[in-house]
Chains A and B, each alone.
Chain A
Amino acid sequence: MFRRQRWKEAGTAYTLLSPTLFVLLLFVIGPILFAIYLSFHKVQLLGTASFQFVGFDNFTRILDDTRAKIALWNTAKYVAIVVPTQTMLALVLAATLNAGLKGEKFFRIVYFLPTLTSSAVLTLIFMWMYNQNGLVNHVLKFLGLPTYNWLGDPSVALNAIMIMNIWSTAPFFMVIYLAALQDIPDSLYEAAELDGANAWHKFWYVTVPYLKPVTSFVIIMGLIGTFQLFDQSYIFSGGSGGPNNATLTVVLLIYQYAFKSLGTMGYAAALAFALAIVILLATWLQRKFSKEESLY
């Protein structure tokens, strides 16, 4: 009797899980195994598809590929600048918004706008502003600062995307910080005040340490997001990664090898694995680092 009931419960569970299991098998687990297979093969899709085993060739090829090195360098630079900047900006904005000022709700709504807007629209708006004769250069000229050919000059094109992305993602992380800030018990601040702490001390010695787990979360999400930069550089450069490979990112390169050139799909799969490993490694390092820090 008891046994039959357990069988029934399992049946119900698998019925409820069936759509999930179907998608997981067909579009996640199957593809992962398939991707491993692809990364060890030379794939030709023209005519009858052919898969030729090449061993580790696709992986060793990465080391000789100049464009892969450029893409990796661009992506690394992008991650190294964007993640810390957006994290700090998000924290400062959240702390400011949490200071009990008037109009908080209004500011929160305004700040949130970029998070809602699609990356395609944001990129187009910024390209319009970055125009040679556009708003950004007019403002710079007005302030007496040098102007740039944001879209066409290889030495500034990636910076243009960085500025845009810091602007658009910092408010998202700000909201996460804001939720956490509201959990800090007032007694901590009161105790600090008794010890004679000023506003800055309270922020630095109470708020920042208390938020460490959230900061760790924000950094990991930031790492995962920035390593996968694609939409912005694709639209910005019309899919080329130009000018002169300045906006070429690893994901854009994977896209190009997979879908824009013939016979390199297996190589693209190998690059995708390399990227996945880099992302896992970066998040693992971050975790390890923040754990050691919280020891004291």
Chain B
Amino acid sequence: MRFGKALLYTILVLYAIVTMIPFLWALSSSFKTLEEIVSGSISFIPKDFTLDNYKQIFIEQELFPRWFMNSVIIAVTVTMLNLIFNSMAGYALARLQFRGKQTIFMIILAVLMIPAQVTMIPNYLILKQLGWLNSYQGMIVPAMINATFIFMMRQFFINFPKELEEAAALDGLSRIGTFFRIVLPLARPALAAQAIFVFMGSWNDFMRPLIILSDPQLFTLPLGLNSFKGQYISYWNYIMAASMVFTMPVLVIYAFFNRYFIKGISFTGGK
């Protein structure tokens, strides 16, 4: 038994090291001088600790702050709209009786199974026709709902106690008023989990911006980073510094919402 425990701890620690090393290596490289980078040193502690790489990316690369802002604007807007619209749809599908309900629900389930590549090309042509290529709305409008979370919100509202809504109706609130003033505020845990995943999805998305955006002014961080790499191909110290700046906001969000992350994932785990 004691041997078994030791073995389990060994697995845990070894895998934690395997997980941490790439991040620590990137972090340490971002504080190294180009000289040390080129020399191929494998020390995790920089010989001459320097902040120049970070200064360099913010000063020399004046587009970098712009990319950061683009990512923030798009990810925040997409998240807010998703929270409202997915909940509205989920509520209607869970609670209201109307013609076409089954059909709409089946379509949403079917959408879950269609790979993005099928709609990617026509979407590009439609956005082009609308004049929305290279624009915030081109990034935001097609992403403002998400079938997975409509489905999740529907499940949530089905299990939601009806009494509160009936009381609100007796007080003379309309259905929509009840939804926004009573039901939505009580759905906060489900909304938190959803917010995190939608934000991360948008923040980290690479393929959609790659197709929709071609003006470097409008790039989001993943695209910016990719073009940055092309430009500073052997300046790995700059590239690692930029990567660290990109990763920080997500780590902060994770630190704040840690418990919702795990909850949200077990939710999708089909429990």
- Give residues in A with beta carbon < 8 Å to B: 6, 9-10, 12-17, 19-21, 23-24, 26-32, 34-35, 38, 92-93, 96-97, 99, 101, 103, 107-114, 116-122, 124-126, 128-129, 131, 133-135, 138, 167, 171-172, 175-176, 178-180, 183, 199, 213-214, 217, 224, 227-228, 230-231, 234-235, 238, 251, 254-255, 258-259, 265, 268-269, 272-273, 275-276, 279-280
- The A/B interface has a contact count, at CB < 8 Å, of 256
Q: Binary interface profile of B, 117-161, with partner A (CB < 8 Å = 1, else 0)?
A: 111111111100000000000000110110000100000000000
Q: A20-B89, A119-B204, A124-B225 are in contact. List 4 more A-B contacts (CB 8 A).
A: A6-B98, A116-B251, A118-B206, A272-B115
Q: Chain A interface secondary structure, helix, strand, loop or mixed?
A: helix
Closest 10 CB pairs of A and B: A179-B266, A118-B204, A31-B122, A34-B122, A10-B98, A133-B40, A120-B222, A31-B119, A16-B92, A13-B96
A121–B86 alpha-carbon span in the complex (Å):
29
Whether A32 pairs with B226 at a CB distance below 8 angstroms is no
Whether B42 pairs with A138 at a CB distance below 8 angstroms is yes
Stretch at the interface among B46-54, B99-107, B186-194: B99-107
A121–B123 alpha-carbon span in the complex (Å):
26
Q: Which residues of the partner chain B approach A29 to less than 8 Å between Cβ atoms? A: 107
Q: A112-B261, A265-B121 are in contact. Are A120 and B206 (CB under 8 A)?
A: yes
Q: How far is the CB of B146 from chain A (nearest CB, A)?
A: 9
Q: Does B170 contact A (CB under 8 A)?
A: no
Q: Which residues of the partner chain B approach A254 to less than 8 Å between Cβ atoms? A: 117, 120-121
Whether B19 pairs with A213 at a CB distance below 8 angstroms is no
Whether B270 pairs with A35 at a CB distance below 8 angstroms is no
- Give residues in B with beta carbon < 8 Å to A: 4-5, 8-9, 11-12, 15-16, 18-23, 25-26, 29, 40, 42, 81, 85-86, 88-89, 91-93, 96-99, 101, 104, 107-108, 111, 113-126, 141-142, 144-145, 150, 174-176, 179, 200, 203-204, 206-207, 210-211, 221-222, 225-226, 229-230, 236, 239-240, 243, 246-247, 250-251, 254, 258, 261-262, 265-266, 268-271
A26 — nearest CB in chain B belongs to which residue? Answer: B126
Q: Which residues of the partner chain A approach B81 to less than 8 Å between Cβ atoms? A: 19
Q: How far is the CB of B62 from chain A (nearest CB, A)?
A: 20
Q: Which residues of the partner chain B approach A251 to less than 8 Å between Cβ atoms? A: 117
Q: How far is the CB of B81 from chain A (nearest CB, A)?
A: 8
Whether A120 pairs with B270 at a CB distance below 8 angstroms is no
Whether A231 pairs with B207 at a CB distance below 8 angstroms is yes
Q: Which residues of the partner chain B approach A124 to less than 8 Å between Cβ atoms? A: 225, 229, 239-240, 243
B261 — nearest CB in chain A belongs to which residue? Answer: A112
Whether B121 pairs with A35 at a CB distance below 8 angstroms is yes
Q: Which residues of the partner chain A approach B125 to less than 8 Å between Cβ atoms? A: 34
Whether A120 pairs with B8 at a CB distance below 8 angstroms is no
B17 — nearest CB in chain A belongs to which residue? Answer: A110
A250 — nearest CB in chain B belongs to which residue? Answer: B117
B196 — nearest CB in chain A belongs to which residue? Answer: A116
Whether B88 pairs with A17 at a CB distance below 8 angstroms is yes
Whether A228 pairs with B116 at a CB distance below 8 angstroms is yes
Whether A111 pairs with B19 at a CB distance below 8 angstroms is yes
Whether B115 pairs with A16 at a CB distance below 8 angstroms is no
Q: Which residues of the partner chain B approach A93 to less than 8 Å between Cβ atoms? A: 11, 15
Whether B117 pairs with A228 at a CB distance below 8 angstroms is yes
Partner of A273, one of B12, B89, B118: B118
A34–B20 alpha-carbon span in the complex (Å):
45
Q: Which residues of the partner chain A approach B221 to less than 8 Å between Cβ atoms? A: 118, 120
A15–B96 alpha-carbon span in the complex (Å):
12
Q: A120-B225, A180-B269, A228-B115 are in contact. Are A38 and B121 (CB under 8 A)?
A: yes
A265–B121 alpha-carbon span in the complex (Å):
8
Partner of A23, one of B88, B141, B175, B210: B141
Whether B15 pairs with A111 at a CB distance below 8 angstroms is yes
Whether B207 pairs with A230 at a CB distance below 8 angstroms is yes
Q: A20-B89, A119-B206, A124-B229 are in contact. Are A259 and B117 (CB under 8 A)?
A: no
A232–B136 alpha-carbon span in the complex (Å):
25
A179–B270 alpha-carbon span in the complex (Å):
10
Q: How far is the CB of B17 from chain A (nearest CB, A)?
A: 9
Q: Which residues of the partner chain A approach B108 to less than 8 Å between Cβ atoms? A: 20, 24
Q: A20-B145, A224-B115 are in contact. Are A171 and B19 (CB under 8 A)?
A: yes
Q: How far is the CB of B158 from chain A (nearest CB, A)?
A: 15
Q: Which residues of the partner chain B approach A273 to less than 8 Å between Cβ atoms? A: 118
A272–B11 alpha-carbon span in the complex (Å):
41
